[in-house]
Amino acid sequence: MAHFVDARTRVLQEESTKAVLSNCSDPKADLAAERARATFDVGELLHYLNGGREKVERKAHFAELISRTEWGNKSERYFQTREEQYVHGLKVAFGIWDFMKEKRLGISDGRVLRSLVNAPGGLELHIGMFIPSLISHANPEQQAKWLPKAQSLEIIGTYAQTELGHGTFVRGLETTATYDSDRQEFIVHSPTLTSTKWWPGGLGKTATHIILMARLFTKGKDYGPHAFIMQIRSLEDHKPLTGITIGDIGPKFGFNGVDNGFLRLEYVRIPREAMLMRFAKITPEGDYVPPPPANAKASYATMMYVRSTIVQDAGKFLSMAVTIATRYTSVRRQTTSSKGQRETQVLDYQSVAGSLLPLLATAYALHFTGKVMMQMYTDFERSRDRGDFSNLPELHAFSSGLKAMCTTITSEGIEKSRLLCGGHGYSRLSGLPDMYTSYVQNSTWEGDNNVMFLQTGRYLIKSLLGAMTGKTLSGYAKYLENAQFEMKERCNVSTEVQWLDPAAQLAAFRNRAARLCVDAAEQLKQESGGNPVFEGEPWDNSNVIVIKLAVAHSQYVIYKNFMDSLQGIRSRGELQPNTVRALADLQGLFGLTVLEREVGDMLESGYLSARQVKLLRAQQRALVKAVRPNAVPLVDAFGFLDYELSSALGRSDGDVYRGLLEMAQASPLNRTEEGPGWKAVLEAQMKKPGSRSRL
């Protein structure tokens, strides 16, 4: 009902309103002014990063269409209960599926749609691991039987590997698959409490089938973990099959639209053909045929695929967080130095810009590394299909370290972005809390980050030891051939501006990694009392330095990818000079920010002098300033749509306060004026006789 305000009240208020308006913020104008400062053509970069104008327009068209569907409507997004989230997540998955079928779209469009709606649900593992496992582990007959059913959603699968007792140590899995040659069947069983499968996404209430990772026993011998396909629920009434107990594992830190589940198996029989037999096989008589030695780790291939996609996506999530924080801190004004002056845009505070703009640069760095990672995985698949597994060790080392590095950077980056948004960053309506709680599991799943770093460190130390005996190295570890030379190297930068040279930055990254590799190998030798031992106590006692080495190597790789990508862009003339210049500033800012954080190692090793560190810091600060005018244009170039970000603070028009007020209206607490607590609790207590007497 309209509220009547009399004339006297209005007149009295008029003066104070005028005073407030004179320096009140105008967020839309602020954002427009930021865009006017661009030193490069935003459209050009937008199209370059997103694969061309046509793809950008296609995404906007999809967003327009799906935002009008029931499953694509995001207005209730932040107010759903867990059950609502779960059911909604399923509707989204099926909605996308049908949309793709109706419009005859391929997987790359599917990725775009999934990213636009951004509502992970019970089908994540079906798409992310069940189907990929069939493709990489099943033989042609098995693929012919299962893939059509999986691809038409006749069955829904997940990947059941982790158990209550073991996640990291895959060889320690306790679920058994014991071959019975009389009936040509496997008996799958959970022999202990700790063998209960725990965590698989979609297992709780959605999946009808699983890829089961279990220890294969035949003729009394244990052959370690292998992959099997089996049905767990009836296709008629969705109830668990005999001998199978399944359920949801309860609420989690985030990602609650997904029904991560538990599973117990009690002497369940599955046919011999349930074992995925592309590489290892079992004969009807129960003889085990191992995979060729070169692909002994072939059963781990799905994990490597997923790690590669995680690396590919890390940059996208960081870019989303940075887009929200950059737009918001450009329109957020706080504190004025003198009366009558407009308050300062918070992005102009050195403390804010100094944290946020390096994150913006990092988001670009991760974008380029994501591309390199996927290219490397695709190359591996091609050679694997020809029977050539020679690049598997490098792919494993590269994807493990980058998975750990990129997810650490992005997890921390989302949280830093949230903090930079002050109080409004704590509101779910900013989009940042949900982004954090549903992203941060990337540091744990698909291999805990420290464990993944250790895999990379192991590979690097072995490479170094090989090089010392004359072995030629290839790929990103090639620099270790010169490790002895690097031990004597000193940085030759003598002016601030020399730090802008990518070669100087790359040399520092490389030198730090090479020296750490030598140190780590030395420590491992000492712990081993001679020849390095890559397991047990000597290895465990060297974990800290090995992880440090893997971090340094991954940082070197990310920087090198950024540098090489930019060189490629330059030499192919793909972007105009102004755009390349803006990217070069980001490359420098990324490089110097990481080096600045790690100077301790380089001072300790003697590679850098205290004076060179001072010069480095000064140049890093100068680059923060250089990037500042392009901050909003550079996040605009990522091309996120408002629909995609679902953030009151990240709105592309800058109208953040209206955004907060409008989005808050959907809160279920606002359904009635008095609120749900009035009748249920407040009224009875507040009107209780004697309630006015004090405590």
Ligand X SMILES: CCCCCCCCCCCCCCCCCCCCCC(=O)SCCNC(=O)CCNC(=O)[C@H](O)C(C)(C)COP(=O)(O)OP(=O)(O)OC[C@H]1O[C@@H](n2cnc3c(N)ncnc32)[C@H](O)[C@@H]1OP(=O)(O)O
Task: Report yes or no: 547 and 457 within 8 Å, Cβ to Cβ.
Answer: yes
Residue 153 sits in the site that holds ligand FAD (CB under 6 A): no
Residue 200 sits in the site that holds ligand FAD (CB under 6 A): yes
Member of 38, 127, 173, 518 binding ligand X (CB under 6 A)? 127
Residue 167 sits in the site that holds ligand FAD (CB under 6 A): yes
Residue 107, binding choice from ligand FAD, ligand X, none, Cβ under 5 to 8 Å by partner class: ligand X
Member of 28, 35, 58, 111 binding ligand X (CB under 6 A)? 111
**Separation of alpha carbons 607 and 595, rounded Å:** 12
Residue 403 sits in the site that holds ligand X (CB under 6 A): no
Residue 197 sits in the site that holds ligand X (CB under 6 A): no
Residue 324 sits in the site that holds ligand X (CB under 6 A): no
Residue 89 C-beta: closest distance to ligand FAD, Å = 14
Residue 107 sits in the site that holds ligand X (CB under 6 A): yes
- Binding segment for ligand FAD (CB under 6 A), chosen from 10-18, 193-201, 327-335, 644-652, is 193-201
Member of 133, 161, 355, 417 binding ligand X (CB under 6 A)? 161
For 682, which DSSP code?
A: I
Cα 213–chain centre separation: 24
Q: Which of 321, 534, 520, 542 is nearest to 414 (CA)?
A: 321
> Closer to ligand FAD at the Cβ: 89 or 201?
201
Instruction: Map residues 616-655 to x or -, x wherever contact with ligand X holds by CB under 6 A.
Output: ----------------------------------------
Residue 214 sits in the site that holds ligand FAD (CB under 6 A): no
Q: Of 34, 163, 394, 446, which is the active-site residue?
A: 446
Residue 161 sits in the site that holds ligand FAD (CB under 6 A): yes
Tokens coding 183: 């009936």
Find tokens 């990254």 and name the residue. 509
Whether 201 has a binding-site annotation, put simply, is yes
Residue 304, binding choice from ligand X, ligand FAD, none, Cβ under 5 to 8 Å by partner class: ligand X
Residue 269 sits in the site that holds ligand X (CB under 6 A): no
Amino acid at 297: K
Residue 520 C-beta: closest distance to ligand X, Å = 14
Residue 440 sits in the site that holds ligand X (CB under 6 A): no
> Closer to ligand FAD at the Cβ: 288 or 445?
445
- Binding segment for ligand FAD (CB under 6 A), chosen from 15-23, 38-46, 106-114, 158-166, is 158-166
Residue 369, binding choice from ligand X, ligand FAD, none, Cβ under 5 to 8 Å by partner class: none
The string over 307-345, giving b where at least 16 C-beta atoms fall within 10 Å of a residue's C-beta and e elsewhere, is bbbbbbbbbbbbbbbbbbbbbbbbbbbeeeeeeeeeeeb
Task: Report yes or no: 180 and 186 within 8 Å, Cβ to Cβ.
Answer: yes
Q: Measure Cα distances from 622 to 105, 233, 357, 602, 619 in Å.
A: 46, 61, 12, 22, 5
Residue 643, binding choice from ligand FAD, ligand X, none, Cβ under 5 to 8 Å by partner class: none
**Separation of alpha carbons 349 and 329, rounded Å:** 10
Residue 517 C-beta: closest distance to ligand FAD, Å = 19
Member of 30, 446, 519, 636 binding ligand X (CB under 6 A)? 446
- Is residue 578 classed as helix, strand or coil in its secondary structure? helix
Member of 170, 468, 613, 666 binding ligand X (CB under 6 A)? 170
How many residues touch ligand FAD (CB under 6 A)?
24
- Is residue 198 classed as helix, strand or coil in its secondary structure? strand
Could you tell me the strand order of the sheet in which 197-198 lies? 197-198, 261-265, 244-248
Residue 276 sits in the site that holds ligand X (CB under 6 A): no
**Secondary structure (DSSP) of 292-319:** PGGGTTGGGHHHHHHHHHHHHHHHHHHH
Amino acid at 211: I
Residue 511 sits in the site that holds ligand FAD (CB under 6 A): no
Tokens coding 17: 């309103």
As a whole number of Å, the CA-based R_g of the chain is 28
Instruction: Map residues 140-159 to x or -, x wherever contact with ligand X holds by CB under 6 A.
Output: -------------------x
Residue 411 sits in the site that holds ligand X (CB under 6 A): no
Tokens coding 263: 């599973």
Q: Which of 208, 250, 253 is nearest to 229 (CA)?
A: 208
Residue 177 C-beta: closest distance to ligand FAD, Å = 16
379: phi then psi, degrees, rounded to nearest 5: -60, -40
- Is residue 176 classed as helix, strand or coil in its secondary structure? strand
> Closer to ligand FAD at the Cβ: 124 or 636?
124
Residue 110 sits in the site that holds ligand X (CB under 6 A): yes
Residue 457 sits in the site that holds ligand FAD (CB under 6 A): no
Write down the H helix ranges in 386-501.
392-420, 422-426, 432-439, 449-468, 483-486
421: phi then psi, degrees, rounded to nearest 5: -90, 5
Member of 278, 396, 403, 512 binding ligand X (CB under 6 A)? 396
Angle at 299 between CA 295 and CA 302, to 5 degrees: 110
Residue 199 sits in the site that holds ligand FAD (CB under 6 A): yes
Residue 252 sits in the site that holds ligand X (CB under 6 A): no
Residue 375 C-beta: closest distance to ligand FAD, Å = 25
Find tokens 């760095």 and name the residue. 365
In DSSP terms, 228 is beta-bridged to 212, 275
Member of 45, 131, 304, 631 binding ligand X (CB under 6 A)? 304
First vs last C-alpha separation in the chain: 39
Member of 93, 322, 421, 594 binding ligand X (CB under 6 A)? 93
> Closer to ligand FAD at the Cβ: 199 or 459?
199
Member of 171, 339, 572, 671 binding ligand X (CB under 6 A)? 171
Residue 299 sits in the site that holds ligand FAD (CB under 6 A): no
> Any idea how long the chain is?
695
Residue 393: count of CB within 10 angstroms of its CB: 15
> Closer to ligand FAD at the Cβ: 161 or 190?
161
446 catalytically annotated: yes
Q: Give the contacts of 298 (CB within 8 A, at least 6 positions apart).
A: 136, 137, 278, 279, 280, 291, 389
- Is residue 99 classed as helix, strand or coil in its secondary structure? helix
Angle at 81 between CA 76 and CA 84, to 5 degrees: 75
Site for ligand X in 452-511 (CB under 6 A): 455, 458-459, 462
**Secondary structure (DSSP) of 328-369:** HHHH-B---SSTTSPPPBGGGSHHHHHHHHHHHHHHHHHHHH
How many residues touch ligand X (CB under 6 A)?
39
Residue 169 sits in the site that holds ligand X (CB under 6 A): yes
Residue 389, binding choice from ligand FAD, ligand X, none, Cβ under 5 to 8 Å by partner class: none
Residue 112: count of CB within 10 angstroms of its CB: 18
- Which residues contribute to the site for ligand FAD (CB under 6 A)? 125, 158-162, 166-168, 199-201, 255, 260, 441, 444-448, 450-451, 454, 543
- Which residues contribute to the site for ligand X (CB under 6 A)? 93, 96-97, 107, 110-111, 114, 123-125, 127-129, 159, 161-162, 167-171, 201, 297, 300, 303-304, 306, 309, 392-393, 396, 445-447, 451, 455, 458-459, 462
Annotated binding site: 162, 201
Catalytic residues: 446
Annotated binding site for FAD: 162, 201
